[in-house]
Amino acid sequence: GQNIDQPTEMTATEGAIVQINCTYQTSGFNGLFWYQQHAGEAPTFLSYNVLDGLEEKGRFSSFLSRSKGYSYLLLKELQMKDSASYLCAGTDSNYQLIWGAGTKLIIKP
């Protein structure tokens, strides 16, 4: 089957680092997306990984291992505004996105 798994909820402290994991099982994989979604708002694009390795964008980094079907989103120097859901999405054999249910990240002072 085709599946995207990510933790339902995580809690972290302001100023700290958090890693949100995502595992995927899809036939026909092109790449993996991460989106951020604040409560009651639209998802917004964070990153897209096609090749293995780590891609850094400011405080946010995303990692992909195609052989392991695994990705993670790393958030550094956490700020209260980073409290949101983080959505992982990968492609299936029909080249359509399969979305995880999202990880709700709670930041505590």
Interaction between residue 4 and another protein (CB under 8 A) = yes
Contacts by 44-50, CB closer than 8 A, 24 or more apart: 46/73, 46/86, 47/73
Nearest to another protein of 34, 78 (CB atom): 34
Q: Does 30 bind another protein (CB under 8 A)?
A: yes
Binding residue for another protein, selected from 10, 48, 61, 83, defined by CB under 8 A: 48
Neighbours of 98 (CB within 10 A): 17
Query: Which of 10, 98 has the CB closer to another protein?
Result: 98
> Which residues, in sequence order, are CB contacts of 59 under 8 Å at separation 6+?
75, 76, 77
Contact positions vs another protein (CB under 8 A): 4, 30-31, 33, 35, 41-45, 48, 87, 89, 91, 95-102
